[in-house]
Structure 1
Amino acid sequence: MKTRLSAAGAALLALVVAVLAFGQPAHAAAGFSVAGGKLYDANGTEFIMRGVNHAHTWYPQETSSFANVKALGANTVRVVLSSGDRWTRNTNADVANVISTCKANRLICVLEVHDTTGYGEQSGAITLARAVDYWLSLADVLAGQERYVIVNIGNEPYGNQNYASWATDNATAISRLRAGGLTHTIMVDAPNWGQDWSFTMRDNAASVFAADPARNTVFSIHMYGVFDTAAEISDYLGRFRAAGLPIVVGEFGFNHSDGDPDEDTILAYSQANGIGWLGWSWSGNGGGVEYLDMATAFNPASLTSWGQRIFNGANGIRQTAREATVFGGTPPPTTPPPTTPPPAGGCTATYTVTNQWQGGFQGEVKVTAGATAITGWSARWAFANGQSVSQAWNATLTSSGATVTARNVDYNGRLAAGASTSFGFIGGWTGSNARPEVSCTAS
């Protein structure tokens, strides 16, 4: 079913009041935690999911998929599991192997039970209570993995009918999981096949969050045909941000049988506002939605147009993913802030490598105005090691040999005295990737 979103100021006010009523969420010392509407890893570093869904329960032999999505830059994989009610049960040993494979590939693992999909409308779908039974049966496997695993109670737990008990059922499910000893961050899916056109999750999220004694719950919206305009996407996600409630886009596509999602806005809005997302799905789709495969026949060397968009497009995984710090990787080199103030009427620029992989990297340049306001700027540097730039955002870049010139775009040229803006780019490198000195000219 497809329903347009509409304004609901009273609902937003209710969300804000409810969040304020139960105060700042507590941190879970052993693993991921939630505070102020954001997700933090066990080191206290904000973590923003950038990854894909993988249909493991139907393709258990495709364990190389974890390494393949990591090689393409993902920091998270959402793994489809079955409780055994609709498909073959993923055993404790199998789930333990999934977690181990995620960790070996430095991926955060979001585990979900798929058998709940469309409950109340889909024949054979199970209740959230039954999904909780499955999670509790995995307690020995999940224990000690709080730094690496997020538990998604049940996929799309209600269809378009009989979803009125969504809030009560989720609150009860969370309470049971906590009583059973699970201290992981919990993820909760929306009803209406995940798309929440009825606003049931949006309007009841605060009460469900408050029902978690650990205040460690994240909400997940699935964006398909219901979310086919920028206004619908920004309104829905924006209401969670305004209420201080954590939200991720747990599934989305670039096309769907119920309409054409606005994937460009999903990616751009999420990047601008620090919202995590997980595209659907790596490979193996059937039933008429084969176009949602990102890789043809699980082959990472044969990305589809959807796969290219997710991994290599604007605001995609290559540009925006950051590995969780719990894996202990060496952070990319950074540029210290200038020790002297920029000249009056001028500007300074600092260059940072924010992410790097074999043969490629993501860079960022911060431009700061001097003691007086400026109306425009340009930054220039020369690569010393044959690096190249393939795409950029928030600036217009041109290259002449090793020299790169970046000029402001319409919306970020005017800077007040001492104010800053930044732009980013994707580049390539071979051998080494030394940081160049950057000059800045104001106009």
Structure 2
Amino acid sequence: MRLRSQITLAATAVLAVVVSVLVAVPSASAAAGFTVSNGRLYDANGNEFVMRGVSHAHTWYPSQTGSFANIKALGANTVRVVLATGDQWAKNDTADVANVVSLCKANRLICVLEAHDTTGYGEAGAAVSLDRAVDYWLSIKSALVGQEKYVIVNIGNEPYGNNAATVANWTTDTANAVKRLRANGFEHTIMVDAPNWGQDWTFTMRDNAATVFAADPQKNTVFSIHMYGVFDTAAEVDDYLNRFVAAKLPIVVGEFGFNHSDGNPDEDTIMATTTALKIGYLGWSWSGNGGGVEYLDMVTNFNPAQLTSWGERIFNGANGIRATAKEASVYGGTASPSPSRTSVSPSPSRSSASPSPSRSVTMSDPVLGACKVTYTVVGQWPGGFQGEVRIANTGTVAVSGWKLTWNYINGQAINQMWGGSYTQTGGAVAVTNAAYTAPIPAGGAVSFGFLSSWNGTNATPSSFILNGQWCS
């Protein structure tokens, strides 16, 4: 986690491109620990596992070993542990890492171990490369081999800043790092972070994740997006995560907060969408923040009895850790066995420019549908504005394909859209889903965004109809 540059939302829309689809069954050699199949993470017992936890800055606060028990007591099933390679900060050696793993196991937590010295490589002068991070993992290998049931290796934290020349190397460097770990006997699930200080505003990870996944001989790689100011609208959050789900590529929100100096992340959507899509999340961070982001502490001075407002939100709020975390079954948790997993042929590439056909779905009420639509003007300027529409499925039946209609009364005219495709005749607007926004699980939601012109008045539409039924 580090201060990041805010991007314009319109630029994000223009950059939207295709994510390739790749599905694989994990190899038998990975079966001793976590595995990935069809875009989902499974523990060693074959049960699907969804991370719910927080980061702990162990490398800077090595004496705070009681934090592992305290994090577990507040309901987490995972802790992401900050380690150092010895390049920017004092090295966490083999003995220390072995002790961290034992603390995780003693407290029935899954350990995500990350090397922090890569943060901002190419922009931060002291940051080191992913290849150097692999050197570190090899140097402490004896603490990790045999712990595949309990440990996930996050190769390097936020491994590139915003320098375009180095960001361009993310795909090759990340694939090579994964292959080098595999060649040296690492059978763990490997987690890889996005560039752009983890926020991937260039969509480098999103658009090349399939290539990196294919480079892993064990097909056991998970992708991590960090959501701060770049992800300050529901449309951006939903669009990014749904693209990975549609491509059957495993994704977690490896860091996020409820506020940040580079913008105000939409933590409510992050937590709601990850819950609906069964995606893991790891909040930043337990305690000990400095440099002007002390508000990201979840507890004050490592005291679990002193939850901050951010701590209350992530542990006890809607879609929070207490409400959604399930202990990994390798610790005797009660997770239900997952359905059998089979190989699936790759699907065609998906493009937001080519919507899926609208399929009628009968919802629970023939008059008022089990849906809620939230229409937001994200930004407005003379003659134009950016809008966002969030569709929530408030019923008990999943929606698979949708068409949403509304009417403008002030002459607004949409000229660009992402997350769906539109037609407009006069004031009548009809939007059909993109392939990756087609499913809306019961209790879940999707969002789409658009750019539009306006003149004089920009009134919010008064009503919305989804698949032939009114939404509240």
Q: Which amino acid aligns with 2:35?
A: S
Matches of 2:79 and 2:17, distance apart in 1: 36
In 2, Cα distance between equivalents of 1:73 and 1:40: 20
SS at match of 1:31: coil
Paired residue type of 2:82: V
- Cα 1:106–1:9 shift into 2, 3 Å: same
Which residue does 1:256 correspond to in 2?
260
Rate the CA distance shift 1:24–1:312 in 2: closer, same or farther, 3 A.
Answer: same
Query: Are the structure 2 counterparts of residues 316 and 93 from structure 1 closer, same or farther at C-alpha, using a change threshold of 3 Å?
Result: same
Q: Measure, in 2, the Cα distance between the counterparts of 1:187 and 1:130.
A: 16
Question: Paired residue for 2:185, among 171, 181, 185?
Answer: 181
Identity of aligned residues (%): 69
Q: How does 1:261-272 map to 2 (within 5 A)?
A: 261-272=265-276
| Deviation for aligned residue 1:136 | 0.5
Closer, same or farther in 2 for the Cα pair 1:415/1:156, shift >3 Å? closer
Q: Does structure 1 retain, via aligned residues, the 8 Å contact 2:58–2:82? A: yes
Give the counterpart of 1:287 among 284, 288, 291.
291
Tell me whether 1:205 sits opposite 2:206 in the alignment: no
Q: In structure 2, how many angstroms separate the alpha carbons of the residues matched to 1:263 and 1:375?
A: 31
Residue 26 of structure 1 and its aligned partner are, at CA, apart by 3.4
In structure 2, the partner of 1:85 is 87
> Any idea what SS the aligned residue of 1:30 has?
coil
RCO (CA 8 Å, sep 6+): is it higher in 1 or 2? 2
Show the counterpart of 2:72: 70
Partner deviation per Cα, 1:315-367 (whole Å, 9 max, x = no partner): 000100000000124679xxxxxxxxxxxxxxxxxxxxxxxxxxxxxxxxxxx
Following superposition, the deviation at residue 411 of structure 1 comes to: 3.4
1:375–1:414 CA contact under 8 A, matched in 2? no
5 Å-filtered alignment, 1:295-374, equals 295-329=299-333
1:376-422 per-residue CA deviation (whole Å, 9 max, x = no partner) reads: 9xxxxxxxxxxxxxxxxx9xxxxxxxxxxxxxx99328999xxxx98
> How far apart are 1:208 and its partner, in Å?
0.3
Name the counterpart of 1:275. Answer: 279
Q: Partner residue of 1:140?
A: 142
What residue is the counterpart of 2:55 in the other structure? 53
Aligned residue for 1:367? Answer: none
For residues 415 and 46 of structure 1, do their structure 2 counterparts lie closer, same or farther at Cα, with a shift above 3 Å needed?
A: closer
SS in 2 for 1:301: strand
8 Å Cα contact 1:26-1:35 kept in structure 2: no
Determine the C-alpha separation between the residues in 2 that align with 1:323 and 1:170. Answer: 30
Query: If the length of structure 1 is used for normalisation, what is the TM-score?
Result: 0.74
Secondary structure at 1:231's aligned position in 2?
Answer: helix
Contact 2:364 2:395 in 1 (8 A): no
Task: Describe the shift of the 1:224–1:410 C-alpha distance in structure 2 as closer, same or farther (beyond 3 A).
Answer: closer
Question: Is 1:102 the equivalent of 2:85?
Answer: no
Q: 1:413 to 1:130 in 2, by over 3 A?
A: closer
Task: Report the equivalent of 1:6.
Answer: 13
Q: Following superposition, which runs of at least 4 residues in structure 1 exceed 3 angstroms of deviation?
A: 7-10, 23-27, 329-332, 373-376, 413-416
Equivalent-residue separation in structure 2 for 1:126 and 1:331 (angstroms): 39
Deviations 1:122-157 (A, max 9, x none): 011000000000001111110100000000000000
Q: Report if aligned partners of 1:374, 1:415 keep a CA contact under 8 Å in 2.
A: no
- The equivalent position to 1:412 in structure 2, one of 395, 401, 408, is 395
Distance 2:60 2:325 in 1: 27
The CA deviation string for residues 64-107 of structure 1, in whole angstroms up to 9 with x for no partner, is 00000100000000000000001111010000000000000000
Distance in 2 (CA, whole Å) between partners of 1:201 and 1:297 is 35
| AA at the equivalent of 1:229 | T
CA–CA distance in structure 1, aligned partners of residues 219 and 269 of structure 2: 29
Counterpart amino acid of 1:212? D
Structure-2 separation of matches of 1:212 and 1:413: 38
SS of the counterpart of 1:151? Answer: strand
Q: Following the alignment from structure 1 to structure 2, what is the Cα–Cα distance between the partners of residues 253 and 415?
A: 29
Q: Distance in 1 between matches of 2:135 and 2:108?
A: 29
Counterparts of 2:397 and 2:148 in 1: how far apart (Å)?
Answer: 45
Give how far 1:2 is off. 1.9
Amino acid at match of 1:185: T
Match of 1:95, SS? helix
Match of 2:27 in 1: 26
The answer as to whether partners of 2:160 and 2:196 remain within 8 angstroms in 1 is yes
- Residue identity in the other structure for 2:289: N
Q: 2:198 aligns with which of 189, 194, 204?
A: 194
**Aligned match for 1:118, one of 117, 120, 125:** 120
Please state how far the C-alpha of 1:11 moved relative to its aligned partner: 1.4
User: Residue deviations 1:158-215, cap 9 Å, x none?
Assistant: 0000211000001110111001100000000000000000000001100000000000
**Aligned residue pairs, count:** 344
Equivalent residue in structure 2 for 1:243, among 241, 247, 270 = 247
Distance, in Å, in 1 between the alignment partners of 2:220 and 2:98 is 23
Q: 2: CA distance between counterparts of 1:415 and 1:215? A: 30
Distance in 2, matches of 1:327 and 1:410, equals 34
8 A Cα contact 2:42 2:49, kept in partner? yes
Contact kept, 8 Å, 1:40 with 1:47, in 2: the verdict is: yes
SS at match of 2:305: coil
Contact 2:326 2:335 in 1 (8 A): no
Kept in 1, the 8 Å contact 2:118–2:157? The answer is: yes
Q: Is residue 153–residue 190 contact of structure 2 (8 Å, CA) maintained in 1?
A: yes
Asked whether the 8 Å contact 1:157–1:194 carries over to 2, the reply is yes
- Measured against aligned partners, the alpha-carbon deviations of 1:231-265 in whole angstroms (never above 9, x if no partner) come to 00000111101100000000000000100000000
Within 2, Cα distance between the matches of 1:44 and 1:7?
40
Take 1:178 and 1:52, find their aligned partners in 2: how far apart are those partners?
27
Q: Specify every segment of 5 or more residues in structure 2 that has no aligned partner in the other structure, as ranges.
A: 337-362, 367-371, 373-391, 400-440, 444-472
Secondary structure at the residue paired with 1:111?
strand
